[in-house]
Amino acid sequence: MTTNIFQDIKDRVDLRDLVRYYGLDVNRGGFACCPFHNERNPSFKVYEDHFHCFGCGEHGDHVDFVQKLYGLSNIEAAKKISYDFGLGLERGKFATPVRPRIMKKDAFTLWRNDCIKTVIEYKKLLEYWSRIYDPRSPIDKIDDRFLESVHNRGYAEYYLETLLIGSKQEQRELYEMDKSYPDKIKKRLDSLDSVSRSACKKAI
């Protein structure tokens, strides 16, 4: 008997539980604010087996959601879901059905989920800036945004990587060491006007 990890995830995890687990606030109508574009009013609808955003058109199932949110491949996303929900699929144990386990979120987990989204946005912005403000010739004046991307990209990448694939201990250490980093970034992102922020998002 072969079991498909993707189908198994769909069968065993409620999509609303899943998006909530990864930080979305789903209202009674099944709508949430979309994590893939910037919005104040929820236009991201969570159905039983798929989601659809009426704002930006993002669409997909359980694995697509996690894949897009964390920038993973589909198999990595499936493994992450399996791990986070205690399904045991990532270790090749397909036989015993386990009831999905939704852990109560502690302050650290809440901080981490929120933080990942912010750092991803900032990192993408820096990547975008380093492309479009790359000085074309040695006599060009160097744009401040290019400098910012040169100076800050490495740390943003390190920070994100630790949160995504670091051990629990490494993540805690990062939290102790520099938990205000995402707040600083958030302020930086908020200081940009919405036009340049969404232009960048579209360009990515």
CB of 189 to Zn ion, least distance (A): 17
How far apart, in Å, are the Cα atoms of 5 and each of 1, 80, 93, 124?
Answer: 13, 12, 10, 30
Whichever of 12 and 37 has its CB closer to Zn ion, that residue is 37
Whichever of 62 and 79 has its CB closer to Zn ion, that residue is 62
Three-state secondary structure along 25-56? CCCCCCEECCCCCCCCCCCEEECCCCEEECCC
Contacting Zn ion within 104-123 (CB under 5 A):
none
Whichever of 113 and 162 has its CB closer to Zn ion, that residue is 113
Contacting Zn ion within 30-89 (CB under 5 A):
34, 36-37, 53, 55-56
CB of 33 to Zn ion, least distance (A): 9
CB of 60 to Zn ion, least distance (A): 12
Spell out the alpha helix ranges (H) of 73-180.
Answer: 74-84, 107-132, 144-165, 168-178
CB of 9 to Zn ion, least distance (A): 22
Beta bridge partners of 51: 46, 60
A 10 A CB-CB count for 55 gives: 15
How far is the C-alpha of 92 from the C-alpha of 118, rounded, in Å?
33
How far is the C-alpha of 137 from the C-alpha of 142, rounded, in Å?
10
Which of 55, 35, 41 minimizes the C-alpha distance to 121? 35
Whichever of 36 and 175 has its CB closer to Zn ion, that residue is 36
CB of 20 to Zn ion, least distance (A): 17
The vertex-55 CA angle with 61 and 33, nearest 5°, equals: 70
Whichever of 42 and 182 has its CB closer to Zn ion, that residue is 42
Coil, strand or helix: which one is 60? strand
CB of 47 to Zn ion, least distance (A): 15
Residue nearest to Zn ion according to CB distances in the complex? 34
Whichever of 38 and 109 has its CB closer to Zn ion, that residue is 38
Residues that bind Zn ion (CB under 5 A): 34, 36-37, 53, 55-56
